């Protein structure tokens, strides 16, 4: 049994209460992206969301980050209603979005600069995170001098630098080749475990969802609702590579495929 999943007293970091999101359409009828969602994510928990394309996964992240308000219901971070972007939440996307004219260290420091942290403090935080993300020695390089995987590790360091309560991750490894993707999953799992961060992770990769998460939430077709919650009862969340080979992975993936109506011929 995963210790965190059994700890019902853990502090709630991110919560969606009866959240519905509608978008206007050119025809005037509107589109309901997600409807009546209730999600609670505890301190230090990594939760993945999977579902068919267009079911509202990225919409959830946008609402949690304060970039887009809910049409109905409320989103809370640390018990405070989300009304605008704030430093308690950090967003990591598919593209690294590193600033090409800044060195890797200065990219990692960027959010700290915005927060007004002193230069010596910024440097110390950046160098520590670059070491944890296996980028020691590359701090003075520019983004174009690094591989795609290294740039994503730098983006992770930049995301962690502002010490957010919640990390929102929207398929951050989807553009990478399979080998690099697994290496970065390992880096992410270790880093999240070491820092104790809370994360909401959107992915289409079923094995990735199992390997990285305490729980996996499965969404329906639009309007997206949560149709099932799967608690991942595999030890050592800090080691996604080992988790990938655990005997329970096959049954978990089979259940996810069943819920998503994925036939073996389509997999």
Residue 180's pLDDT is: 85
Asked whether the beta carbons of 168 and 92 are under 8 A apart, the reply is yes
CA distance 82 to 71: 13
CA distance 32 to 24: 9
pLDDT in tens, 5-23: 444 456 899 999 999 999 8
Per-residue pLDDT of the chain (267 residues), as tens digits, is 444 544 445 689 999 999 999 988 777 678 899 999 999 999 999 999 999 988 999 999 999 999 999 999 999 999 999 998 887 898 888 788 899 999 999 999 998 998 889 999 999 999 999 998 889 999 999 999 999 889 988 998 998 898 888 999 998 888 788 888 888 899 889 888 888 899 999 999 999 999 999 999 999 999 999 999 999 999 999 999 999 999 999 999 999 999 998 754 444
CA distance 76 to 97: 27
Asked whether the beta carbons of 82 and 64 are under 8 A apart, the reply is yes
CA distances from 68 to 54, 217, 220 (A): 16, 21, 21
Residue 263's pLDDT is: 58
Q: What are residue 225's phi and psi, to 5 degrees?
A: -135, 165
Domain coordinates in residue numbering, the chain: 3-88+164-266
CA distance 156 to 184: 10
Residue 173's pLDDT is: 86
pTM: 0.86
Spatial strand order of the sheet with 215-219 comes to 89-92, 166-170, 198-202, 46-50, 215-219, 226-231
CA distances from 204 to 172, 231, 233 (A): 11, 18, 20
Residue 24's pLDDT is: 84
Quick one: how far is CA 102 from the chain centroid? Answer: 25
Asked whether the beta carbons of 200 and 34 are under 8 A apart, the reply is no
**Of residues 148, 199, 143, 202, the one with CA closest to residue 170:** 202
Q: How many residues does the chain have?
A: 267
Residue 267's pLDDT is: 43
Residue 28's pLDDT is: 66
- Is domain 3-88+164-266 annotated with CATH 3.40.50.300? yes
CA distance 216 to 136: 33
73 phi-psi bin (left φ>0, alpha ψ -120 to 50, beta other): left
**144-165 per-residue burial string, b: 16 or more CB within 10 A, e: under 16:** eebeebbbbbbbbbbbbbbebb
CA distance 99 to 93: 14
């Amino acid at each position: 049994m995963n210790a965190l999943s059994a700890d019902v007293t853990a502090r709630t970091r991110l919560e969606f209460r009866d959240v519905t999101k509608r978008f206007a359409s050119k025809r005037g009828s509107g589109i309901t992206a997600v409807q009546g969602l209730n999600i609670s994510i505890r301190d230090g928990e990594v939760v993945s969301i999977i579902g068919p394309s267009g079911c509202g996964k990225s919409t959830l992240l946008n609402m949690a980050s304060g970039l887009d308000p809910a049409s109905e219901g409320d989103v809370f971070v640390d018990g405070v209603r989300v009304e605008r972007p704030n430093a308690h939440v950090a967003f990591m996307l598919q593209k690294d979005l590193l600033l090409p004219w800044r060195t890797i260290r200065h990219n990692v420091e960027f959010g700290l600069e915005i927060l007004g942290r002193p230069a010596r403090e910024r440097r110390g935080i950046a160098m520590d995170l670059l070491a944890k993300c296996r980028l020691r020695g590359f701090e003075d390089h520019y983004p174009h001098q690094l591989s795609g995987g290294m740039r994503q590790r730098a983006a992770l360091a930049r995301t962690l630098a502002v010490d957010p309560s919640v990390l929102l991750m929207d398929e951050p490894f989807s553009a990478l080749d399979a080998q690099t993707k697994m290496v970065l999953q390992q880096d992410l799992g270790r880093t999240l475990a070491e820092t104790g961060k809370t994360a909401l992770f959107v992915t289409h990769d079923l094995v990735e969802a199992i390997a990285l998460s305490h729980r996996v939430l499965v969404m329906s077709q639009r309007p997206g609702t949560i149709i099932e919650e799967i608690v991942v009862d595999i030890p050592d969340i800090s080691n996604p590579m080992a988790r990938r080979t655990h005997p329970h992975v096959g049954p978990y993936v089979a259940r996810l495929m069943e819920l998503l109506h994925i036939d073996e011929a389509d997999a």
